[in-house]
Amino acid sequence: MKGLLREHKVYGTVEKDGFPAFAEIFEVDDLKLSETPTHLSAKEFLFPQREVLLKFNMRTSTHVPVIEAEKQVLIGLHPCDIKGMGLMDRVFSHGVSDPNYLARREQTIVVGTDCVPDEYCFCSSLGTDKVEDGFDIFLHRISRGFLVRTSTDRGAELLSRLADSREPTVRELKELEERGAQRERAFKAKINGAPEDLPAIYAKSDESPVWEKIGAICYGCGACNNVCPTCYCFDVKDEVRPNLVEGERVRTWDGCTLEDFAKVAGEHNFRKSRAERLRHRFNRKFRYLAGTFDSLFCVGCGRCSRTCLVKINIVDVTNELIRESHRR
């Protein structure tokens, strides 16, 4: 850990106001590996909430592209976070690739750690509760230290250089297995259907009363978009410096649950009601992007349900749609 801190900018989980959160780690003791999810995902370290795409000069009418990336280590990502990052990697390299994201990703070392579900976690329902790749190093907590896996050469090199390690004993492996079984029993939230059936279930749900029901209570605050590890929509704006000459074209997170998101000229809004906007968001997670990426875009972290001010719960909504599909 000390070695890592010497060589890289390190971000990891800390305790902030009694909650687990990601923050920059300056000393070894700052890091508090959290077993329950952070409220915000780790996406901000690869896709920052505000990011400069270009610098411009209004007097000369010129632009320079900006691609900012520095070596960084992210510590404490749970399997769902790592799966979410893998989906973001695919989005930003699909079609026209996004150099801002990809350059930062290239420079990022990911250290995963295992977790214990809270009442909102449902990754086991989606098969995103375990990871084989997408990280450099993965730490499994046992009673005395950690069992460590690496999935990249970069991870193996770091481990051999910066840590003392040995082969695990049979007893240690047994403990890991027991902890895994215990974790599986701990899941409270469950989707009552197979993940591969969800796109079809959502495809039949456009007219479901569920959307009006949750649309009636939604505040349209966009918190679910903000905390989601796979929400990647953005807005692009020019910010002019006080000298009124220079400035930056920036992208900032945006959310499809916000009222203006689908507005076009003449104030026409293609998703005027909150019900329609929520339906769009849920469909993006379980249906729309599945066609392009052959994967659901929900990793079961439960962050949207955890953070929702009016307790709209992604598992309850999905289960209700599954129930409706059985009734039909």
Check residue 45 and give left, alpha or beta (phi > 0: left; psi -120 to 50: alpha): alpha
How many residues does the structure list for the chain?
328
CB of 101 to other proteins, least distance (A): 9
Among 33, 213, 249, 307, binds other proteins (CB under 8 A): 249
CB of 77 to other proteins, least distance (A): 23
How many residues touch other proteins under the rule CB under 8 A: the total is 53
Asked if residue 242 binds other proteins (CB under 8 A), the reply is no
Residues with Cβ within 8 Å of residue 187, at least 6 apart in sequence? 117, 121, 122, 124, 125
Integer Cα distance of 25 and 272 in angstroms:
43
Q: How far is CA 274 from the centre of its chain?
A: 23
Asked if residue 243 binds other proteins (CB under 8 A), the reply is no
User: SS3 of 322, please?
Assistant: helix
Cβ proximity to other proteins: between 170 and 265 the closer is 265
Asked if residue 268 binds other proteins (CB under 8 A), the reply is yes
Among 238, 293, 309, 310, binds other proteins (CB under 8 A): 238
Q: By the 8 A CB rule, do 133 and 151 touch?
A: yes
Sheet containing 234-240: order of strands: 62-65, 50-57, 246-253, 234-240
Asked if residue 177 binds other proteins (CB under 8 A), the reply is no
Binding mask 200-219 for other proteins (x = CB under 8 A): ------x-------------
Asked if residue 229 binds other proteins (CB under 8 A), the reply is no
Cβ proximity to other proteins: between 129 and 248 the closer is 248
Cβ proximity to other proteins: between 96 and 170 the closer is 96
Integer Cα distance of 279 and 256 in angstroms:
10
Q: By the 8 A CB rule, do 9 and 70 touch?
A: yes
Among 31, 53, 82, 315, binds other proteins (CB under 8 A): 53
> Considering only residues 102-161, where is the footprint of other proteins by CB under 8 A?
102-103
Asked if residue 270 binds other proteins (CB under 8 A), the reply is yes
Among 5, 21, 67, 221, binds other proteins (CB under 8 A): 67
Asked if residue 56 binds other proteins (CB under 8 A), the reply is yes
Cβ proximity to other proteins: between 170 and 264 the closer is 264
Sheet containing 108-113: order of strands: 19-24, 9-16, 72-77, 108-113, 137-141, 146-150
Q: By the 8 A CB rule, do 305 and 270 touch?
A: no
In angstroms, the Cα distances linking 282 to 4, 207, 279, 290 are 39, 14, 5, 12
Instruction: Give me the residues that bind other proteins (CB under 8 A), please.
Output: 53-54, 56-58, 61-63, 65, 67, 91-92, 94-100, 102-103, 206, 232-238, 240, 247, 249, 251, 254, 256, 261-266, 268, 270-271, 276, 280, 283-284, 287-289, 291-292
